[in-house]
Amino acid sequence: MNLNTTGTFAIEDDNYILLIDYSYYYNAGTYEQPPEEDMEIESVYLNEMDITDFFWEFVEDKVYQQVIEYARDNNK
């Protein structure tokens, strides 16, 4: 099974909405080839303001795992 999709992960709070646009790739592999998975974060918005550069410099490590788990769970 090959899967190549895009989506948006959202973190909503009373004071902000963080939207993370991502692309996700998954290949289940074969007996000879192991499974492959890749995710790229395309853009990040905080209350409609593009903060993609800020995200890469300061936040990425804290949120990446949440986004890839969301991508896995919502693309089955």
- pLDDT tens figures, 38-53: 999 999 999 999 999 9
To the question of pTM greater than 0.85 for the whole model, the response is no
Starting at the edge strand found earlier in the chain, the sheet holding 49-50 runs 2-12, 17-27, 36-46, 49-50
pLDDT of residue 76: 59
For residue 16, give the amino acid letter.
Y
Residue-by-residue pLDDT tens, the chain, 76 positions:
788 899 999 999 999 999 999 999 999 888 999 999 999 999 999 999 999 998 888 777 778 888 888 888 886 5
The parent domain of residue 25 ranges over 2-73
Who's near 60: CB < 8 A, 6+ residues apart? 41
Question: For residues 28 and 18, what is the distance between their CA atoms, to the nearest angstrom?
Answer: 30
pLDDT of residue 29: 87
User: What is the number of domains present in the chain?
Assistant: 1
